Amino acid sequence: MATALLYDCFSGISGDMHIGAMADLGVPEDYLQGELGKLRLASEFELVLAPGRKMGITGTQATVRLAEDAPRPHRRLAHIVEIIQDAGYSPAVETRATAIFRALAEAEAGIHGIGVEEVHFHEVGATDAIVDIVAAALGLDWLGIEKAWSRTVEVGGGMVRCAHGLMPVPAPATAALLEGAPCSYGRVEAETTTPTGAAILRGSVDVFGEPPRFTSARVGYGIGQKDFAIPNVLRVLLGTAEVAAKAATAYETETNVEIDCNVDDMSPEAFQPLIEALFEAGARDVMVTPGLMKKSRPAHRVSVLAHPDDLPGVVERLVRDSTTIGVRYRDVQKWMLPRETVTVPTSLGDVRVKVAKLPDGRRRWKAEYDDVLRLARDRGEDYLAARDAAEREIAAWMND
């Protein structure tokens, strides 16, 4: 069992909310204050932790107050790394804090088209951002986190003023840092996920999606500064996850969405064109399961697995090409055996074969149905005889 963390950013994430959530999970205030006091810029800020409440949810609110005479420099990555290294933190804390800032630098470099070391940090190079990120590394280290997951991240909506001017939410750095992460938009007309918060996720989260097995032991709430129509809190769950380290390295992982709907008024022959349309829209897999609904009406559940980017197109085809009037979807984490497709020469002709590698090193393979069927028809043979002949030759080829 691994000590694990699950981020539930239904109202976004910022640096101060993350500090609050860490404290609410049990990271001692005197530990945070003492460790942050090792920074050479300790005289420039004050960290205040206090009980907070948003819409009935209680937690811890963190505020980083800057001294009136604190400088506002545009620091380079090397300068920030030097500040962190000079504090004398443990290797784990130093590595994580540096990695978070490097992720920020890479995001900014990509936006400006320059090298990482040329980046001048704007807001995220300020003292409060350094405190937020170092505190994140300290909190995760104190909790002994071995693996972290994050659910869908709410980024907000509307416009935000940043160093690049007035920009739509998410800010450019936030958008770059959350590439590949499942996000939701527009629950409120404000920025809910800041670049610092996105960088903390990028530098701390191992997998975006639901953990395969997670037992929660404690829930922490980091209370935000603003008031929204939804509770402005960051919820973080601390617990254990059953992840076999050896087995985990033998699989490829991928965040998908599972979309499904029930239909009880659609003609059976309409399912084939629906399935074809869903695959055209980007579905990875489609399954239709028969069942009974209310009043014992025969029905079918249509289940679709897709990449998060393909969710809008898949939903559109489901609504357009079936009789459903609504769909459900959820984030899922997919574990897959490493696989490749090879072409094997046989006496019938070339056959594509999907080959998967098992954790113990053995291989599992399957001949491509369409290839075998086409070759059987070309030769005027029945499919089963052609399949058996092809599989014998493929097995011999695999064992060579």
Q: For the segment 335-393, what is each residue's pLDDT rounded down to a tens digit?
A: 888 888 999 999 999 999 999 988 877 889 999 999 999 999 999 999 999 999 999 99
pLDDT interval class at 219 (50, 70, 90): very high
Q: Which domains does the chain have, with CATH numbers?
A: 2-248 (no CATH), 254-336 (3.30.70.1380), 339-399 (no CATH)
Letter string b/e over residues 136-153, b meaning 16 or more CB atoms within 10 A of that residue's CB? bbbbbbbbebbbbbbbbb
CA distance 116 to 133: 18
Answer yes or no: is pLDDT of 194 > 90. Answer: yes
What is the mean pLDDT of the segment spanning 4-20?
97
CA 381 from chain centre, in angstroms, equals 49
Residue 168: what pLDDT? 93
pLDDT tens-digit profile of 221-278?
999 999 999 999 999 999 998 765 544 557 788 889 999 999 999 999 999 999 999 9
pTM: 0.64
pLDDT tops 90 at residue 70: no
pLDDT at 60: 98
Tell the burial category of 291 from Cβ atoms under 10 Å away from its Cβ (0-12, 13-18, 19+). Answer: exposed
CA separation for the pair 151, 47 (Å, rounded): 28
Judged against a pLDDT cut of 90, whether residue 11 lies above it is answered with yes
Tens digits of residue pLDDT in 105-144:
888 888 888 887 777 776 555 788 899 999 999 999 999 9
